[in-house]
Amino acid sequence: MFKRQAQTPASSASISQAGMTRSTRDWSKGTSKPLEYGLASKGDTRLTDPQTQEAFFHTIQTRYLMHIGSSASVPALDEQFAALSIASNNAYTGGTSNISGSSGTTTATAHHEKDLAILQNILMDMRKLREGLLASNRLDDFAKSAYIFIARAAILMSHPESYFPSLRHLLYVLHPVNPLSNPEVTELAGYLMLHLACATRSFHDAYEVKVRFRLRDHRVETAVRALVAGDYWLFWSTKRLVDGYKSKIMDRAVRDVRKHALKCVGSAYHVVETRFLEACAERAWPVVREEFAIAWEESGGRVVIRRRPDAKGAGRGLVVGIRREEGKVGEDAKADTGGGLMASRWSTAGEENRGSGR
C-alpha cells in the first residue's frame, strides 16, 4: 500500500525524524579499534560522500553512547576524560599513558588503557568526519547536527582540538548559510566565549563573540568578568552554578585562578585559617602545597605564611615559592623572599621579577 523509503537518503537532506537505521553490529567486541576510514586531508575521499558521512556519524554516536553507558560511575568517566591528552588527536598508544597508582593491579591498568584507547579513537573518528564534511562543503541540517554533537562530546572530553574548530565552523561558516536557532546560537557562542577567555586569555576576542552574536548569558559573562578582574571568589561561585559543559571549559582556567588566589593570600596575610585558604584555592591544602611546591607551614589548623621578626631581628620570614611550569623552584623562591607571592593580576614571570626589583 505504501512504498518503502530508502534506508539512507540519496540527497543531502537532514536526518529524518524517525532516525537512521538501527545498527545490528555487536559493539561489545573490538570497540577500541579505529574505524577504517582515513583523513580527507591525507587523500582519503570516501567520507566526502553524503551517504557515507551519515552512516559514519551514526557509527560514531553509537560507539560514544555505548562507551558512556558502560562506565562504572560518573567519577570513573570523569577520570577517563581527564586522562585524555589535549595535545594530540592521534590514536592512543600504551607507551604514552601516564597512569599513577602504586597499588593498582595489572588488570585495572589494562582496563584503564583500553578505555582511553576507545576515547582517543572516537576523537580521531570525529576528526575524520569533520574533515569529510569540510571537504564536501556540506552545510545542511545533517552537517549542523554532526558538528553540534562533536562539539558537545569533545567539550565533555576536554579536547579543544575537536570542539574549538567545530564551534567556529558552526558560528562563522554554517550559521550565515543555514541559520542556527536562537537557543543554539546562545549555547554555542557561550562555549566559544568561555573558551577564548579561559583557555587562551583572549578577552578581546571573547567580547567580540558576545557582541557579534548578541550573546545574553549572565553566567558566561560573569565568568569572563571574573577572569578579567582577577576575582577568584566570583569565578569559583560562578563555576558552581553553570552546567557541565561550561564547567568543563572553565576547568582550563582553574590552575591560573588558583595560583592567583594564592598570590593574593600570600601578599596580604601572615597567618590564615586552613579552611579559609582552602576556600580561596578551592582545593585541599595538602594538595595545593604539593601542586605549587609552597613552603608555608601548617600548625593547629592555621597556615603560617611568614613569621613576624622577633626582638633580635631574627625570623625574616618564610620563603614562599611556587613552582613554575619549568620547575624552577629556587628562582621563584628568590623572587618572592620576604614579600610573599606577588598579587599582580595574572602577572607573568617577567612582571613578577620587575615587581620585586630584579
Distances (CA, A) of 40 to 43, 95, 131, 135: 5, 27, 6, 7
Decide which of 191, 226, 253 is a domain's last residue.
253
Decide which of 236, 253, 270 is a domain's last residue.
253
Q: Are residues 186 and 204 in the same domain?
A: yes
Q: Are residues 238 and 295 in the same domain?
A: no
Q: Which domain holds residue 278?
A: 255-355
- In this prediction, what percent of the chain has a pLDDT beyond 90? 51
Q: Are residues 318 and 233 in the same domain?
A: no
Whether residue 290 has pLDDT greater than 60:
yes
pLDDT grade for 44, boundaries at 50, 70 and 90 = confident
H helix or E strand, kind and range, residue 187? helix 182-198
Give CA–CA dist 49/40, Å, rounded: 11
Decide which of 253, 284, 302 is a domain's last residue.
253
CATH number, domain with residue 234? 1.25.40
Q: Are residues 232 and 281 in the same domain?
A: no
**Grid coordinates standing for 296?**
608555608
pTM for this entry: 0.71
Q: Are residues 327 and 203 in the same domain?
A: no
Q: For residue 228, what pLDDT is reported?
A: 96
Q: Are residues 170 and 222 in the same domain?
A: yes
Tens of pLDDT, residue by residue over 83-111, are 554 333 333 333 333 434 444 456 556 55
Going 263 to 268 to 274 to 275, the CA torsion angle's sign is negative
Q: For residue 135, what pLDDT is reported?
A: 93
Asked whether residue 316 is assigned to any structural domain, the reply reads yes
**CB 344, CB 355: distance < 8 Å:** yes
Q: Are residues 132 and 73 in the same domain?
A: yes
User: What does the radius of gyration of the chain's CA atoms come to, in whole angstroms?
Assistant: 25
| Number of domains within the chain | 2
**CB 293, CB 322: distance < 8 Å:** yes
What size, in residues, is the chain?
358
